[in-house]
Amino acid sequence: MNSLQLTPTPNRLRRRGMPATPPNSTQRFSRLLTSVLGSPFLTTSDIASIPPHLDLVDGEDTAVPHSETVTRPPSPENLYGFEVVHREDGEEWPFNFKRASPFRSLLPRIWDVISASPPRAAASYIQKEIDYAKLPPLDGEEGELIDDEACFFCPPVRAVTGIDILTLLPPELSLHILSLLLSPTRPDPRAPASTVLADLGEHAEASNVALQSLIACRAVSRKWSRLASDNAVWRAAFVGRWGVLPPSVSPIPPPKPPPTPRVNSGRMKKLPALPPDAAPLAPEWQSLYRARLELDRRWDGNEQWEPRATGLTGHADSVYCLEFSRTHIITGSRDRTVKVWSLRTGKLLATFAGRHRGSVLCLKFELEVGKDGCAKGILVTGSSDCSVCVWDMWTDRPGDEAPVHAEVRAVLKGHGGGVLDLRIDQRWIVSCSKDAAIRVWARDTLALHRTLRGHEGPVNAVGLQSGDYAQEEAGVGHGGRVVSASGDGKMILWDIASGERVRTFEGHDRGLACIEFKGDLIISGSNDCKIKIWSAASGACLRTLVGHEALVRALSFDPRSGRLVSASYDRSVRVWDLGTGKVVRVVKNSHTSHIFDVKFDARRIVSTSHDQKIVVLDFSGGLGVDAGLFV
């Protein structure tokens, strides 16, 4: 409202409810019918004159008594190029007329009026004061709005309808948008340990929300259902949840055009067979997603379903250590032998004996399949005879049941006690011993690089974190780090390049038996029956897992899934969710004695024991897809 008074023309006005606009007056602001709100606003300039005791109601052709009006606040005296607007948070917000402003969306009607005014030179705002009496009125903003006139629409009014933008876009773009929406950000295993633990739980929740959103998209309409059922969308959802593609479909080469069929006498001959290097058909990602989700539910404590247990026998004494790949299991025993088994069938493929004069306490191996289908790799074993043997392994023919051959390349000596654990990467072989020392060997030359000493008891386990070897010369990152766990109850983090002690961890009540070191996460198991999670960067203990009733002998951890598997002398195997710190499954009675080692992948848990058996717990039975696709 305003209190501006004009020359009275009583014949043209009436009391409240009677027209106040002269019949011959011209409404100069009829153009505002096309503004954002589409509401016709009248101003005092639209009326030739009104009585002194009446004022015009904004937005209506009506006059009211002066005593019932609300007076507009006085205008500012000066305006120099921009106006400072006070926000609710107390800060000042410069509003520049020459640039795009958030006020364009917040106050569209004011912007329409300002933008419709004649353009003026920028310098005129600075050099001259503005005469507000000559400025165009603000059309309904002079005072408070009365009777909701700003919400007035002239009939007929069209119904407000939505626009399905997703189906109007090209299909490729629509599928890409859905793929982005359904791919939650995965935790970065290189992030600080506390961040990794927090992100694991958030990612699991975000993955469930993404799945629910995908199912909801399929119920919107037929077009949305076709888009949400596309194979590319489910592929993105699979990778977003589990972070890895099945090895048989990654990567997929571009398909070749099919051969042109020959036509003879109106009949089409059979198509020739695809060449050996032809690209495989794309997998059914929706089926793979469903099967992998069911597999995870089996891991996460579905007590109505129990894994199928398979026992492998052949060793003549306790089985101390194991490692397995997608095709083979390799075990070491107190009977001084190393045995190789087919992971798929459990068939014994090879036995290596006669090289160690004591128990085989630890081993690591790498076995890769070449273009000819034959496997080739390296095996490293440690024994109570104080030696480390480096073996060359290979197969003569393709297939996961082909006989495996091995030959000792070198024997690494130097430890004064039994070799209790070892680790390998592309540059180093790291071993630890009862002599309280850690030895680092160069993998290419097999020469001793460094000996690390600092423990007061036997070093039962070591963990190795590979460095940025490709950028090491540029001074980026480190050349590898080792964490050692000892019977003296301490853990020590070492820098391989300098040989210096980076940090000492203390927190367990008794001696340590096993350790895992991946990213910034260090996980330790002890004779105090506890599992502790540490940050390598800060040295802080982030979480303690309690549940085992005897010494925790072995640990295996997957940073992608956040799943931890532990084995104990209490004859149980426990599965933990590191995102929540809770145990999700306990497997008992798979062994009849102490469990010495445990490893797992997406499908199975493999453990060894004093009872001379290797037990494979398979969670993937009856999924309806090739479980070999899951890693």
| Long-range pairs of 127-132 with CB within 8 A, sequence gap ≥ 24 | 129/77, 129/78, 129/79, 130/78, 130/79, 132/75
Torsion of CA 203, 242, 214, 201, to 10 degrees: -20
Q: What is the CATH number of the domain that holds 231?
A: 1.20.1280
* CA–CA distances in Å: residue 504 to residues 490, 500, 534, 538: 7, 11, 11, 11
Identify whether 408 is part of a domain. yes
330 & 290 share domain: no
Is 60 exceeded by the pLDDT of residue 569? yes
Q: In the predicted model, what is the mean pLDDT of residues 367-393?
A: 94
Dihedral sign for Cα atoms in the order 8, 13, 17, 23: negative
State the Cα–Cα distance between residues 511 and 489, nearest whole angstrom. Answer: 4
Most confident of 173-182, 381-390, 580-589: 381-390
pLDDT at 474: 58
Q: In the predicted model, what is the mean pLDDT of residues 484-504?
A: 94
Indicate the range of 145-159, 209-223, 262-276, 547-561 predicted with least confidence.
145-159
Q: Which of 117, 151, 185 corresponds to the end of one domain?
A: 151
SS3 category, 600:
strand
State the Cα–Cα distance between residues 528 and 76, nearest whole angstrom. Answer: 76
Residue 84's Cβ-side half-sphere holds a number of Cα atoms within 13 Å equal to: 6
289 & 345 share domain: no
pTM of the model: 0.69
What is the number of other CB atoms lying within 10 angstroms of the CB of residue 53?
A: 11
* Tokens 């068939």, located at residue: 347
* Residue 183 backbone dihedrals phi, psi, to 5 degrees: -120, 90
289 & 311 share domain: no
Name the residue range of residue 235's domain.
166-248+284-298
107 & 186 share domain: no
41 & 79 share domain: yes
Kindly indicate the confidence band of residue 548, based on its pLDDT and cuts at 50, 70 and 90.
very high
Cβ-contact 35, 20 below 8 angstroms: no
SS3 category, 211:
helix
Q: CB under 8 Å to 295, separation ≥6 — which residues? A: 602, 603, 619, 620, 623, 627, 630
What is the number of other CB atoms lying within 10 angstroms of the CB of residue 60?
A: 19
14-60: pLDDT as tens digits: 444 444 444 444 444 344 344 333 334 444 444 455 566 665 555 45
More confident residue, 101 or 131: 131
Is 70 exceeded by the pLDDT of residue 62? no
State the Cα–Cα distance between residues 408 and 391, nearest whole angstrom. Answer: 4
Identify whether 333 is part of a domain. yes
395 & 449 share domain: yes
Q: In the predicted model, what is the mean pLDDT of residues 418-432?
A: 96
436 & 468 share domain: yes
Largest CA distance in the chain: 124
Mean pLDDT of the chain: 77
* CA–CA distances in Å: residue 582 to residues 38, 190, 553, 579: 59, 23, 19, 8
Residue 376's Cβ-side half-sphere holds a number of Cα atoms within 13 Å equal to: 6
Q: CB under 8 Å to 393, separation ≥6 — which residues? A: 365, 367, 375, 376, 377, 378, 379, 404, 405, 406
Identify whether 326 is part of a domain. yes
pLDDT at 11: 44
340 & 358 share domain: yes
What is the 3-state secondary structure of 393-408? EEECCCCCCCCEEEEE
Length of the chain: 631
597 & 532 share domain: yes
More confident residue, 344 or 143: 344
184 & 121 share domain: no
Kindly indicate the confidence band of residue 445, based on its pLDDT and cuts at 50, 70 and 90.
very high
Q: CB under 8 Å to 519, separation ≥6 — which residues? A: 189, 190, 191, 193, 196, 465, 559
pLDDT at 115: 56
* CA–CA distances in Å: residue 621 to residues 249, 298, 373: 21, 10, 27
pLDDT at 66: 58
Q: Is the bond preceding 136 in cis, omega lying within 30 degrees of 0? A: no
| Long-range pairs of 103-111 with CB within 8 A, sequence gap ≥ 24 | 108/35, 108/36, 108/37, 109/32, 109/35, 109/36, 109/37, 109/139, 109/140, 109/141, 110/138, 110/141
26 & 97 share domain: yes
Q: Which of 121, 151, 181 corresponds to the end of one domain?
A: 151
Torsion of CA 286, 292, 298, 302, to 10 degrees: -30
Cβ-contact 585, 599 below 8 angstroms: no
Is 80 exceeded by the pLDDT of residue 101? no
Identify whether 51 is part of a domain. yes
Identify whether 218 is part of a domain. yes
Amino acid (one-letter) located at 225: S
Q: In the predicted model, what is the mean pLDDT of residues 324-339?
A: 95
Identify whether 215 is part of a domain. yes
Identify whether 338 is part of a domain. yes
Is 60 exceeded by the pLDDT of residue 105? no
Nearest to 66 by CA among 146, 140, 138, 4: 4
Kindly indicate the confidence band of residue 475, based on its pLDDT and cuts at 50, 70 and 90.
low
State the Cα–Cα distance between residues 306 and 605, nearest whole angstrom. Answer: 13
Rg (CA), the chain: 38
State the Cα–Cα distance between residues 606 and 556, nearest whole angstrom. Answer: 11
More confident residue, 103 or 301: 301
**Domains in the chain, number:** 3
Tokens of residue 335, six digits: 């009977």
Kindly indicate the confidence band of residue 270, based on its pLDDT and cuts at 50, 70 and 90.
low
Kindly indicate the confidence band of residue 198, based on its pLDDT and cuts at 50, 70 and 90.
confident
Is 90 exceeded by the pLDDT of residue 553? yes
Q: Which of 151, 176, 209 corresponds to the end of one domain?
A: 151
Cβ-contact 536, 548 below 8 angstroms: no
State the Cα–Cα distance between residues 566 and 23, nearest whole angstrom. Answer: 91
State the Cα–Cα distance between residues 3 and 39, nearest whole angstrom. Answer: 23
Strand extents, DSSP E, 472-603: 481-486, 490-495, 501-506, 512-518, 521-526, 530-535, 541-546, 552-558, 563-568, 572-577, 582-588, 595-600
* CA–CA distances in Å: residue 103 to residues 85, 95, 422, 609: 10, 8, 65, 72
Q: Which residues pair with 352 in a beta bridge?
A: 338
User: How many Å separate Cα 526 from the centre of its chain?
Assistant: 31
Nearest to 564 by CA among 30, 101, 196: 196
* Tokens 């305006």, located at residue: 79
Amino acid (one-letter) located at 415: H
64-96: pLDDT as tens digits: 565 655 554 554 454 444 444 444 444 444 444
pLDDT at 144: 43
Q: What is the CATH number of the domain that holds 357?
A: 2.130.10.10
Identify whether 274 is part of a domain. no
Tokens of residue 631, six digits: 């890693």
Q: Is the bond preceding 156 in cis, omega lying within 30 degrees of 0? A: yes
Q: In the predicted model, what is the mean pLDDT of residues 459-481?
A: 78
Indicate the range of 76-80, 144-148, 446-450 predicted with least confidence.
144-148
Tokens of residue 268, six digits: 């089409």
Kindly indicate the confidence band of residue 302, based on its pLDDT and cuts at 50, 70 and 90.
low
* Tokens 């002998």, located at residue: 553
Is 70 exceeded by the pLDDT of residue 203? yes
204-228: pLDDT as tens digits: 888 888 888 888 888 888 999 999 9
Is 90 exceeded by the pLDDT of residue 98? no
468 & 531 share domain: yes
Amino acid (one-letter) located at 390: V
Is 80 exceeded by the pLDDT of residue 202? yes
